[in-house]
Amino acid sequence: MEIIETPRNTRLTPATDEQLAYLRQDKWAKYTPPSPTALEVAGKKMLFREGLTFTPFANAVACNAHCRFCSEELQRKHDHELTAERLITDYDVYFAGLERALLAIKGLRIGLSLSGLEATAEPVWLLRLLDLLARLEPCLQFDEKVLYTNGSGLVKHSTLVPALQKANFDRIELSRCHYDQATNQNIMYFNRNEPVWQNEQYEQLVRSLHGTLFVKNSCILTQKGIQTIEDVENYVEWAGSLGVQEVVLRELSRLDDTYLPNKTAQWVAQNRVPIEPLLYEIAPTRSAVRKNWTYLYSTLGYYYYNEHYAYRDQTEVILETSSYPALMRANESGIIQKMVFHSNGNLCGDWNPNANIIGHFF
Ligand code: SF4
């Protein structure tokens, strides 16, 4: 089996049916992380996973969608506050703290992963963030920049796309749960004053981005939306017709009993579509792959497993499965796996603003 270590994961290309079957067993559990990097931050010597990402948690305003599966609404039993609830109020304090946090981790090779709530919903915050990153760029080592977005602000605020292009974003991951706008709305629940909920606006946006920003379409598999192989093929055909070259289909994370059974956790449990049946329909084995599909390779990360395919030799399709418990186990290893800068001034190795604190920067 060909094995290539990339900055963020391991890429494996099995040559036989047995090798693919072996990879599909245990999945992320087979990942061997590279040696961590040591750095002193805020007076403490810490270990960081190679290739980790930094997220300035985007919660300047509440999200303008209400996805039924939104991970920001999941609550672990020992957490007292949901990450998303404390919005950024004082931009001067926030950006001064963020600058100190970024300078404190100077020297680490990191990826920028812009997510949290909806970063494009508040253009003043996003443009100021991009200005700060541009100013600090000579000191920082971002080897990749990705924006995760529902596209809403890109439709409404004409300044954002040129600013993201100028900031050299490698790609935007655009979420859409279905090709039918009513079905999509039944899952994502955009505020009705957000034009992007309509396909006409969304499709126009996607077409307009080509040549400016690379678009990867992200679709969460749900029983209310995309769940069968026919649904998947229709979705990929639709994305392809808009010029999208890469589509990722994600399984809702496997939760365990460390999460409170709130409305979101219950919805996730009831509507989760497991990825295995789809994988076995597309490629029951390495040598027997469904018509129009070509198996390319698999990737293993510290809490996820992906299979990459080419569909009709035109669109790369990635099927992804991940595990929150595996993510939390990695977080407990003493090695920082992921950095999140929160609106309370804490830089954390966790999505919880009070857990795994690396330093406080307000
Ligand atoms: S767009 Fe993202 S942040 Fe907003 S509700 Fe959906 S999943 Fe949550």
The predicted structure's pLDDT at residue 302: 86
Task: List pLDDT tens digits, range 116-137.
Answer: 999 999 999 999 999 999 999 8
Nearest residue (CA) to ligand 1, atom 6? 67
- The pTM (predicted TM-score) of the whole model is 0.94
pLDDT over 90 at 200, yes or no: yes
Lowest mean pLDDT across 67-71, 123-127, 229-233, 307-311: 67-71
Percent of the chain with pLDDT over 70: 95
Lowest mean pLDDT across 15-29, 136-150, 253-267: 253-267
Q: How would DSSP label each residue in 54-107?
A: EEE-B-SS--S---TT-GGG--BTT--S-GGGS----HHHHHHHHHHHHHHTTT
**Tell me, what amino acid is at 39?**
L
For ligand 1, the distance from its centroid to the CA atom of residue 217, given in whole angstroms, is 15
Atom of ligand 1 nearest to the CA of 72: 8
If one counts the domains in the chain, the total is 1
* C-alpha distance from residue 18 to each of 23, 282, 286, 310, 317 (Å): 9, 16, 8, 21, 22
Task: Decide which of 146 and 302 is more confident.
Answer: 146
314-318 average pLDDT score = 98
Q: Considering the chain, what is the average pLDDT of its residues? A: 92
Q: What confidence category does residue 206 fall into, taking pLDDT thresholds of 50, 70 and 90?
A: very high
Cα Rg of the chain, angstroms: 20
Query: How many other CB atoms sit within 10 Å of the CB of residue 59?
Result: 24
Task: Decide which of 228 and 139 is more confident.
Answer: 228
* Residue 150, ligand 1, Cβ within 6 A: yes
Measured in whole angstroms, the distance separating CA 347 from the mean position of its chain's CA atoms is 19
24-32 average pLDDT score = 85
Nearest residue (CA) to ligand 1, atom 3? 117
Domain span at residue 353 reads 2-360
Mutation choice for ligand 1 from 69, 72, 194, CB with most ligand atoms inside 8 A: 72
Task: List pLDDT tens digits, range 282-296.
Answer: 999 999 999 999 999
Lookup: tokens for 60:
């300047």
201-216 average pLDDT score = 97
| Sequence-distant contacts of 287-291: CB under 8 A, at least 24 apart | 287/16, 287/17, 290/229
Report which secondary-structure segment, H or E, holds 174.
Answer: strand 171-175
* CATH number for position 176: 3.20.20.70
Query: Interhelix angle for 91-104 vs 123-136, to 10°?
Result: 30
Task: List pLDDT tens digits, range 240-279.
Answer: 999 999 999 999 877 766 677 788 888 988 999 999 999 9
Task: List pLDDT tens digits, range 53-86.
Answer: 999 999 999 999 999 988 777 666 655 556 556 8
pLDDT over 70 at 196, yes or no: yes
